[in-house]
Structure 1
Amino acid sequence: MADSENVEIVTDGNISEPLLQTEKESEAECRNGDDDKELFMVYLSTFVAVWGAFEFGSCVGYSAPTQFGIMNDLNMSYSEFAVFGSILNIGAMIGAITCGWIADYLGRKGAMRLSSVICTVGWIIIFVSWGSFFLDFGRFLTGYGIGILSYVVPVFIAEITPKTLRGALAAANQLFIVIGLAVAFLIGAFVSWRMLALTGVIPCAFLFVGLFFIPESPRWLAMVGRQNEFRVALQTLRGPHADISREADEIQEYLTSLSHMPRATVLDLFNRRNIRFVIVGVGLMVFQQCVGINGVIFYAGQIFVSAGAPPNLGSILYSVLQVIVTGLAATMLIDRAGRRPLLIISVSGMLLGSLLIGSSFILKANNLALPLIPLLAIGGVLVYIGSFSAGMGAIPWVIMSEIFPLNLKGLAGGIVTLVNWSGSWLISYTFNFLMVWSSHGTFFIYALVCALALVFIIKLVPETKGRTLEEIQALVK
């Protein structure tokens, strides 16, 4: 792993030794790339894109507050509703399989626009449904749409932002996911399931309309050979007075080096040059899900009840905590503290939270320290979810959007996104079975996975803070 903050990319396809920037060059880059007024379009483009993340959260959060309303109105059994709830993940997995190709073929904006239309159709079908078939079909379509959005939103943000802002703005993706979840829970407590479905159309409308007012990803435009549009888009994003020559040249030189390589295939993911990209990207997504986050969030109420704690209190606390911690840690600290330190702190906190929850179940099973059980249960869940929100929620998506070279981004990103959604389904499906087997054992298993994740992050995950996407290719090798 290179120690320098900067590297030089040369046109013969080889990456040179790290070169130190002069102080003058660094100051010029800061003036040209980081002035808030000049970067208005970057902020606007990010704000438009994260409505896709809000839609993601709305779709995931829809089933919890609507369960009994849907079951009563449509005479559905628990097993039929379970199909409705889980089919979102099936749609998202299929969306993940196709997301890379769609984003590379239609562009980042085209993929987001298509997803907003698919999600809108899905919500309307849910709204008019009078039977389980159409209800499930609408849910499947929203799942397919967010499967694409879960990949293309962080990739688009990473490709348009300067290196000093990329972590914070890419982490806004996770912030809007948890805001979307919280809003779905809040509105769902006061309106019918049909009206809640209509509210899901609102972020789709903001995304669809907003995309007409922002530029396409300059890196994608350069990759497909639209050179004039590439420079116009880059200038629009950096501001009318910014000097984009250096950044444009770096992107073009990097693409020139890629042009000497044959068209990317699945086998290219496993060659010596790229295998570390895949290990880091896939590994982070595996650990993000296998630490048990979906089990804890989806069944937090059950955890509180099983531990003898009030479920409503815990649910309110963890929903608010997710938004606050994600907003403060992921968006404000990620470009200051760095990706690796936040990941290490995050996973360490999740390890502690898992041990606290597991300990509460052991005490309950043995009728020991009964007054401490609710405190340990609620405290453990809050520590766990707060720690997840501080790093493991957002940063794997940020790193995924950063580490893959442009010619592999669609293919590799699709695989990574598929792994994430498959892990989400697996943990959600197995959680109840594990809890029946052993409640404390379940969380001790999650604690063990957290320990393994900690080793993985320390040994393999690179620090990408403060580097351009082209420079990062020299780090992960």
Structure 2
Amino acid sequence: MEEDGVTTPESLLLTATSDGSRHNRNNESASQATRVVVMSTSIAVCGSYVFGSASMVDAQVGFSSPAQTGIMNDLGLSLEEYSVFGSIMTIGAMIGAVMSGKIADHFGRRMTMGLSEMFCFVGWLAILVSEVSWLLDAGRLSIGYGIGVLSYVVPIYVAEITPQNLRGSFTTVNQLMICTGMSAMWIIGIFISWRTLALIGTIPCLLQIFGLFFIPESPRWLAKIGQWEDCKSALQRLRGENAEISKEAAEIRDYIETLDQLSETRVFDLFQTKYAKSLTVGVGLMVLQQFGGVNAIAFYANSIFISAGFSGSIGTIALVIVQVPLTLVGVLLMDVSGRRLLLMVSAAGTSLGCFITGISFLLQGFQDYKGLSPVLALVGVMVFKGSFSLGMGGIPWVIMSEIFPMNIKSSAGSLVTVVNWTGSWAVTYFFNFLMKWSTAGTFFLFSSICGLTILFVAKLVPETKGRTLEEIQVSMNPIKEN
């Protein structure tokens, strides 16, 4: 806006984003998933596949896996020692998450993905050659650090390179590949030894490291560090050699130059009033995602089924089968239905799934309905997992990658990622204590939190479908001259 005839940074930014968004809306139909965008996204989400495959080898994922039995027998580990191996990945992920934003800002998105995959690759090799527990733990810690960084930088990179009308679907492929990695490693792990499983785990790491040489850097990061010609060159590659990119490039440049007029942002500056809405949305979605019970159900599905009197292996196979197709449905709907509607439908489904699971445990106390309990447990967990895969699994990461402006993206993104991993650890750790307190009550609690998510999304989460990153960020983070 203008004050006494003076143009402020805020007015420059609003004008730039308004002009750019009108141009992009008028040309939205012309935005295409070019070969370079598809290839770049595919290579980036190899990191998401590594995330999923590493999680599936966890001691507590789904069932008493062949990997767990093989490692404990071959190395003579106690259950306590194996539990350290399983849980230490989360510690590494927290450390990686804390550092992820600064690393991505300093080295760029591509190099950060490459460095992260090196940690994952070395970690898998350490597990492969392990003869003692400390090397096994060191490998797991290294993988955790790598995927902690990848969980931030992959959705950020994909969001920054894709056209606005495709950004949601392409960014949600991150979650699709996590599910695919989990499912693939579960199936493969049935038939092969844990060392061979670790060797296979190195393959997507090497694919991404090799592929990074052939994809462009994020144009927005290049603009942030002042490499304007490289920014335009990368944007041209991504949009197609015959595409008109001048207005999109000008919009990015105007936005970055306006941010450059502001003082350098420190970590504590995140808590200024102007960033309150974006920070509340980003952190809130991650808290609700984790405390809705996803990791409790994913990590202890076998125990849930057995406690309810159902076959653990059959129930877990059903989970693996349902999560990938429904995640794919979420990818296809993302830029059609929008983020908000899909989030609310997904949260409603997870709330219903937890409620049904709670009812199944409640009925165990009634002899007349005891035979119904296993069926309801299976249905409840399936409804939860399918609904979570539809939206709550991927959309919080999509929105995280969209709402923070470049001057706070590294600090805010790191904070949000740390919150996610901390929530994952907390729910996983306390789940057994909650189940001892009340099995039915635990799932009713999760159901209530999922219900709260619907209200949170309805009241606070903006619709970001079809809007440029610059337009989203300026609407949520009003920028004023310091």
Q: Do both proteins adopt the same fold according to a TM-score greater than 0.5, normalized to the shorter chain? A: yes
1:13 maps to a residue whose letter is E
State the alpha-carbon separation in 2 of the partners of residues 444 and 103 from structure 1: 40
The equivalent residue for 2:398 is: 398
Q: Offset of 1:350 from its aligned partner?
A: 0.7
State the alpha-carbon separation in 2 of the partners of residues 325 and 385 from structure 1: 9
1:45 equivalent in alignment to 2:40: yes
State the alpha-carbon separation in 2 of the partners of residues 414 and 91 from structure 1: 14
267-276 vs 250-259, which moves further: 267-276
State the alpha-carbon separation in 1 of the partners of residues 396 and 24 from structure 2: 31
Tell me, yes or no, if the aligned pair for 1:403 and 1:469 is still in contact at 8 Å.
yes
2:361 maps to a residue whose letter is F
234-243 vs 56-65, which moves further: 56-65
Q: Offset of 1:124 from its aligned partner?
A: 0.5
1:377 equivalent in alignment to 2:377: yes
91-100 vs 452-461, which moves further: 452-461
State the alpha-carbon separation in 1 of the partners of residues 283 and 85 from structure 2: 28
Mapping of 1:73-472 within 5 angstroms?
A: 73-329=74-330, 331-472=331-472
State the alpha-carbon separation in 2 of the partners of residues 147 and 28 from structure 1: 37
Q: Offset of 1:451 from its aligned partner?
A: 1.8
Return closer, same or farther for 1:422/1:270 CA change in 2, 3 Å cut-off. Answer: same
Tell me, yes or no, if the aligned pair for 2:21 and 2:467 is still in contact at 8 Å.
no
Q: Offset of 1:13 from its aligned partner?
A: 3.1
The equivalent residue for 2:480 is: none
State the alpha-carbon separation in 2 of the partners of residues 25 and 419 from structure 1: 34
State the alpha-carbon separation in 1 of the partners of residues 301 and 390 from structure 2: 19
Q: Offset of 1:11 from its aligned partner?
A: 7.4
User: Secondary structure at the residue paired with 1:464?
Assistant: coil
1:218 maps to a residue whose letter is P
Return closer, same or farther for 1:25/1:374 CA change in 2, 3 Å cut-off. Answer: closer
- Root-mean-square deviation (CA, aligned residues, Å) is 1.6
Cα offsets for 1:300-334 (capped at 9, x unmatched): 111111111111211111111110100112x1001
State the alpha-carbon separation in 2 of the partners of residues 315 and 375 from structure 1: 14
1:35 maps to a residue whose letter is Q
State the alpha-carbon separation in 1 of the partners of residues 22 and 413 from structure 2: 36
Q: Offset of 1:206 from its aligned partner?
A: 0.7
Q: Offset of 1:30 from its aligned partner?
A: 3.1
State the alpha-carbon separation in 2 of the partners of residues 301 and 353 from structure 1: 16
In structure 1, list runs of 5 or more residues that go unmatched: 1-9
1:457 maps to a residue whose letter is V
2:394 maps to a residue whose letter is A
State the alpha-carbon separation in 2 of the partners of residues 22 and 296 from structure 1: 41
Return closer, same or farther for 1:22/1:41 CA change in 2, 3 Å cut-off. Answer: closer
Cα offsets for 1:31-69 (capped at 9, x unmatched): 2xx234xx1111110001010000000110113431111
The equivalent residue for 1:13 is: 10
Cα offsets for 1:386-418 (capped at 9, x unmatched): 010011000000000000001111110001000
User: Secondary structure at the residue paired with 2:191?
Assistant: coil
2:54 maps to a residue whose letter is C
User: Secondary structure at the residue paired with 1:317?
Assistant: helix
Cα offsets for 1:434-471 (capped at 9, x unmatched): 11111101101101111222211111111100001001
1:61 maps to a residue whose letter is M
Tell me, yes or no, if the aligned pair for 2:20 and 2:247 is still in contact at 8 Å.
no
Q: Offset of 1:27 from its aligned partner?
A: 4.2
The equivalent residue for 2:29 is: 30
State the alpha-carbon separation in 2 of the partners of residues 108 and 326 from structure 1: 25
61-70 vs 283-292, which moves further: 61-70
State the alpha-carbon separation in 2 of the partners of residues 271 and 27 from structure 1: 35
Return closer, same or farther for 1:454/1:23 CA change in 2, 3 Å cut-off. Answer: closer
Q: Offset of 1:227 from its aligned partner?
A: 1.2
Structure 2 length-normalised TM: 0.93
Tell me, yes or no, if the aligned pair for 1:11 and 1:253 is still in contact at 8 Å.
no
State the alpha-carbon separation in 2 of the partners of residues 431 and 86 from structure 1: 14
State the alpha-carbon separation in 2 of the partners of residues 302 and 220 from structure 1: 45
The equivalent residue for 2:50 is: 55
Return closer, same or farther for 1:84/1:440 CA change in 2, 3 Å cut-off. Answer: same
State the alpha-carbon separation in 1 of the partners of residues 407 and 445 from structure 2: 38
Return closer, same or farther for 1:77/1:272 CA change in 2, 3 Å cut-off. Answer: same
Cα offsets for 1:105-153 (capped at 9, x unmatched): 1100010000111111011111111111110000000000000000000
Q: Offset of 1:28 from its aligned partner?
A: 3.6
Tell me, yes or no, if the aligned pair for 1:11 and 1:257 is still in contact at 8 Å.
no
Return closer, same or farther for 1:29/1:344 CA change in 2, 3 Å cut-off. Answer: closer
2:207 maps to a residue whose letter is F
2:46 maps to a residue whose letter is W
Q: Offset of 1:84 from its aligned partner?
A: 0.5
State the alpha-carbon separation in 1 of the partners of residues 23 and 252 from structure 2: 21
Return closer, same or farther for 1:405/1:26 CA change in 2, 3 Å cut-off. Answer: closer
In structure 2, list runs of 5 or more residues that go unmatched: 1-6, 478-482
Structure 1 length-normalised TM: 0.94
User: Secondary structure at the residue paired with 2:242?
Assistant: coil
Tell me, yes or no, if the aligned pair for 2:32 and 2:163 is still in contact at 8 Å.
no
1:440 maps to a residue whose letter is A
